[in-house]
């Protein structure tokens, strides 16, 4: 269990350092539009991405939900 916690701490530290040095803090949907429309696009892209990842895992492992 300690290894899992250390991995999370390391990932958090690395993410913080990357975020501090990121010159452009916008995300893709907010580059093209703003406000509520950008939020909806972001949520839709996230949902599609999660579905595709879940589908790929199911195909590779042969396990259903």
Cα dihedral value 40, 43, 48, 49, nearest 10: 140
Residues 18-49: pLDDT tens digits? Answer: 777 777 656 666 777 778 888 888 889 889 99
Domain count of the chain?
1
Position 27 scores a pLDDT of: 67
Picking from 51, 34, 41, 36, the residue whose alpha carbon sits closest to that of residue 59 is 51
Reply yes or no on whether the pLDDT at 52 is more than 90.
yes
Give the structural domain span for 32: 2-61
Sign of the Cα pseudo-torsion (28, 29, 32, 34, in order): negative
Reply yes or no on whether the pLDDT at 56 is more than 70.
yes
Q: Rounded to two decimals, what is the model's pTM?
A: 0.50
Picking from 59, 62, 32, the residue whose alpha carbon sits closest to that of residue 45 is 32
Rg from Cα positions in the chain? 17
Position 47 scores a pLDDT of: 93
Cα separation, 35 vs 53, in Å, equals 27
């Amino acid at each position: 269990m300690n290894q899992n916690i250390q991995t999370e701490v390391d990932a958090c530290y690395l993410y913080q350092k990357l975020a501090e040095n990121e010159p452009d803090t916008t995300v893709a949907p907010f580059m093209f539009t703003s406000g509520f429309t950008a939020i909806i696009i972001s949520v839709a892209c996230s949902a599609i991405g999660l579905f595709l990842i879940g589908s790929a895992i199911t195909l590779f492992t042969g396990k259903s939900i």
